[in-house]
A = this chain, B = another copy of it.
Amino acid sequence: MTGIAHSRREPAFLAACRRRPTDRTPVWFMRQAGRYTPEYRAARARRNVLAICRRPKLVAQISLQPVERLGVDAAIVFADVRLPFEPLGLGLAYAEQGGLKVWHPIRRPTDVDKLKRVDPARDLAHLLEGVRQTKAGLTARFPDTPLIGSAGAPFTLASYAIEGAASGTCNATKRFMYEHPEAWHALMDKLAALLGSFLTLQAAAGADALQLFDSSVGCLGCDDYREYVLPHSKRVIELAATAGVPIIHFGTDTATLLELMAQAGGDVIGVDWRIPLDAAWARVGDRAIQGNLDPSALHAPPPELERRVQDVLRRAHGRPGHIFNLGHGIQPGTPVKSLKAVVDLVHAHR
């Protein structure tokens, strides 16, 4: 294939990841395969997220829905960032109330030694089969739509492992980091190896791009990120990069961490709505950028939503390398027509 033929056929999403010019700004939504659709809610009424993720056919169905329903430029494999915990022996399971929980959180340095050795190809085979079947479904029905695989970043997973559940402040995590730096780095090492391998295998199973979710990292100051996180995120991204597909490095609440996140790596840096897109891009430098509409804006009246979409596009200024997305996942109860309106507005923009 010549370079020209290649770039002519390259989907806008993948071209933008590589900062190549595109005919239109590509758009997809974090959590687009999820709780806002009636089909997903029907599946969830019968099964919890773990049970859904063990059924590759159902994963493929749920992951393809937004491509059909919304016309987004990429599919993402339905998943939960905590899935890699299952084989580690942290007791990932559902609570009667409150959803997915880590039942044996890490409390002491010795808990890190007790983590089971994980072979992702074997222990996460059901998830990889979900990637494979989603890719097969796309190839059959939407051959031009790329597929995104994903995993939680080491810090976000370590904070779940220590807190036992989502935490806005990550206080226990930071205490563990400061009090037991050796055990912390050992934990992050294990997670980085597991995640790097898991992401590479997702690419081998058909993912055309990979997103690393560091959703909790914004609780850290810059020095903490540099010392306790950066080397491990860098390692995951380096391992995953061997697969040859673009990597999106996403976090929330990262206005002051963006330069360091870019140092850790990623072809694309994903940003939340707290920082204007142009200001974020200036900090990120020579990378593509993904974002950054506030997911709450999808509840605004149509003219206000349109104004906000146009503001993000204006700040991107047509510069190659912008992937339109939300600044965080779609919230439950988001109107489907708002999502569709955003896709149409972004695609109509020239």
A interface residues (Cβ-Cβ under 8 A, vs B): 168-171, 174-175, 178-179, 218, 220-224, 253, 255-256, 273-276, 279, 294-297, 299-301, 304, 308, 311, 331
Q: A256-B255, A276-B256 are in contact. Are A299 and B178 (CB under 8 A)?
A: yes
Copies of this chain: 2
Instruction: State the 6 A-B residue pairs at the shortest beta-carbon distance, nearest first.
Output: A178-B300, A174-B296, A168-B168, A175-B299, A255-B255, A221-B273
Query: For A331, what are the chain B residues with a Cβ–Cβ distance below 8 Å?
Result: 169, 171
Q: Verify A175–B279 contact, CB threshold 8 A.
A: no
Q: Verify B276–A222 contact, CB threshold 8 A.
A: yes
Query: For A220, what are the chain B residues with a Cβ–Cβ distance below 8 Å?
Result: 274
Query: For A218, what are the chain B residues with a Cβ–Cβ distance below 8 Å?
Result: 253, 274
Q: Verify A274–B256 contact, CB threshold 8 A.
A: yes
Query: For A279, what are the chain B residues with a Cβ–Cβ distance below 8 Å?
Result: 256
Query: For A169, what are the chain B residues with a Cβ–Cβ distance below 8 Å?
Result: 296, 331
Query: What's the minimum C-beta distance from A72 to chain B, rounded to whole angstroms?
Result: 22
| Alpha-carbon distance A331/B169, docked complex (angstroms) | 10
| Set B179, B297, B299, B300: member contacting A299, Cβ < 8 A | B179
Query: For A171, what are the chain B residues with a Cβ–Cβ distance below 8 Å?
Result: 295-296, 331
Q: Verify B301–A178 contact, CB threshold 8 A.
A: yes
Query: What's the minimum C-beta distance from A76 to chain B, rounded to whole angstroms?
Result: 21
